[in-house]
Structure 1
Amino acid sequence: MVVQMYRITPDNPKYLTYENQFKQGWTHKGKSAKITRIYLAKNDDIDRAYRGKRFNNYRGNKRYKIYFHGTQRACNIGRWGNSLRYCKKPECGLCGILWHSFDTKLCRSARMFGAGIYTTPSSSSACTVPG
């Protein structure tokens, strides 16, 4: 099962919550970013997905923490409304993550701690765009 994403608009209270967490997590002076869209997965979809079940089992009854992950986008996914058709371009990190449901076998190994999906509470650390 592929987890579907849905767009939340600025008038949704969740939007403001995530926007504030993004801004508060920005720790690098001299770098800047602007939120243009926020997408979420529905909890029910995550709970039904194989990796979602494994994750929920792993975390027990602990609450979710909001962490950030930066990646490159090589297509127009999410640019227009809720149109979330994944591309199959090998250079599109975003679609690769969504299409393969965070499969760590596809991670590059040339990272500080080896192959894996890295997240951080610092939104500016997750930013993949220089300066």
Structure 2
Amino acid sequence: MASPHKDGWIKLVPPDEFSLDNPVNTSNGRRNRLVRLDRDNPSFAEVEQLFIKGWRHRKKARPDIQYILRVLWPEPALEPYLDYRDRVQDILRAKDKRGNEKLLFHGTNRACLLGESSGSVLLCDLQECYLCSIVRSSFDVNKCGAKNSFKRFGHGIYTSSCSSKSDDYVCNLSENASLRVMILCRVVVGRPYKRYRNAPDILAPPSGYDSIAGEIGWDLNYEETVTYENDTVRPAYLIVYGDKPKRATNLKAFVKKMFKTPIVS
């Protein structure tokens, strides 16, 4: 990407860290949409800390993270998000120069076995697999309510800093799945409008605001953020968590699990 410089020459801007065109995201000449992070990668520690800090349900045991996958985007799919972020930033003039961008969690259905192992990184085409659909082409406001009819703050894209809350919406549709997968999204929060009571008829934040911030109080036990345009959000990471399935201790147990039929002794 390039941007004009005050002296008239073009200043080259390095590709976004989540861009497929960024050289650091190329491994052995291959460009994959999902790349596993090593545990010594600083991004792994950042995401892990957000997950741990965001696990606020006291009665839910916090699970272990097994893998973290970075979601990479082709430039045509990423640029609308970056352009929107720049427009919000121009209005906010915030010091971070990112339009008050935050990393927030989102839970949804998974019908396949994406993430069940470190090598399971291919997206499926199952219609009921919302996870792969979101990773493939990001969020679609028009599909809001496809899973949950109740929309606390209207027709929008819902995310939260509370990982244990987003976990409530993570659902494995495959009986062969043992781990769970949550999305960590980049969200341009901009200037949030705080609400403490349900407002299901909202179509957009009030003029001068960019999102709705559902605050803990009257109707919410855990906060959530709602945006109302597709380009306000892009998936950034997939967090694979839970207990790894125990390996079968013998051939009989293995065959019984695979075929789900009793074995004659």
TM-score per shorter chain, which class?
0.7 to 0.9
For residues 61-80 of structure 1, the C-alpha deviation after alignment (integer angstroms, 9 at most, x for no partner) is 22531211111211011233
Q: Does 1:69 align with 2:110?
A: no
For residues 85-112 of structure 1, the C-alpha deviation after alignment (integer angstroms, 9 at most, x for no partner) is 2212222121121123212222226221
Structure with higher helix content: 1
Superposed displacement of residue 58, structure 1: 4.4
| Residue pair 2:110, 2:131 contacting (<8 A) in 1 also | yes
**4+ runs of 1 displaced by more than 6 Å?**
none
User: Bigger shift: 106-115 or 28-37?
Assistant: 106-115
Superposed displacement of residue 22, structure 1: 0.8
Structure with higher strand content: 2
Q: Does 1:21 align with 2:50?
A: yes
Distance 1:25 1:31 in 2: 12
Distance 1:37 1:47 in 2: 25
Q: Does 1:117 align with 2:146?
A: no
Counterpart AA for 1:20: Q
| Residue pair 2:123, 2:132 contacting (<8 A) in 1 also | yes
Counterpart AA for 1:68: F
Q: If the length of structure 2 is used for normalisation, what is the TM-score?
A: 0.42
- Which SS does the other structure have where 1:57 is aligned? helix
* Partner residue of 2:69 out of 36, 39, 47: 39
Structure number with the bigger relative contact order (C-alpha 8 A, sep ≥ 6) is 1
Distance 2:113 2:170 in 1: 17
Distance 1:34 1:124 in 2: 13
Counterpart AA for 1:57: D
* Cα pair distance change 1:7/1:51, threshold 3 Å: farther
* Partner residue of 1:11 out of 40, 47, 51: 40
Superposed displacement of residue 126, structure 1: 0.8
Q: Does 1:81 align with 2:118?
A: yes
Q: Does 1:92 align with 2:92?
A: no
For residues 5-36 of structure 1, the C-alpha deviation after alignment (integer angstroms, 9 at most, x for no partner) is 32212222211121111101111111133322
| Residue pair 1:25, 1:122 contacting (<8 A) in 2 also | yes
| Residue pair 2:71, 2:135 contacting (<8 A) in 1 also | no
Distance 1:102 1:53 in 2: 15
Distance 1:103 1:54 in 2: 18
- Provide the aligned length of Structure 1 versus Structure 2: 127
Counterpart AA for 2:55: W
Q: If the length of structure 1 is used for normalisation, what is the TM-score?
A: 0.77
Number of the residue aligned with 1:52: 81
Q: Which structure is larger by alpha-carbon Rg, 1 or 2?
A: 2
**What stretches of structure 1 of length at least 5 have no aligned partner?**
none
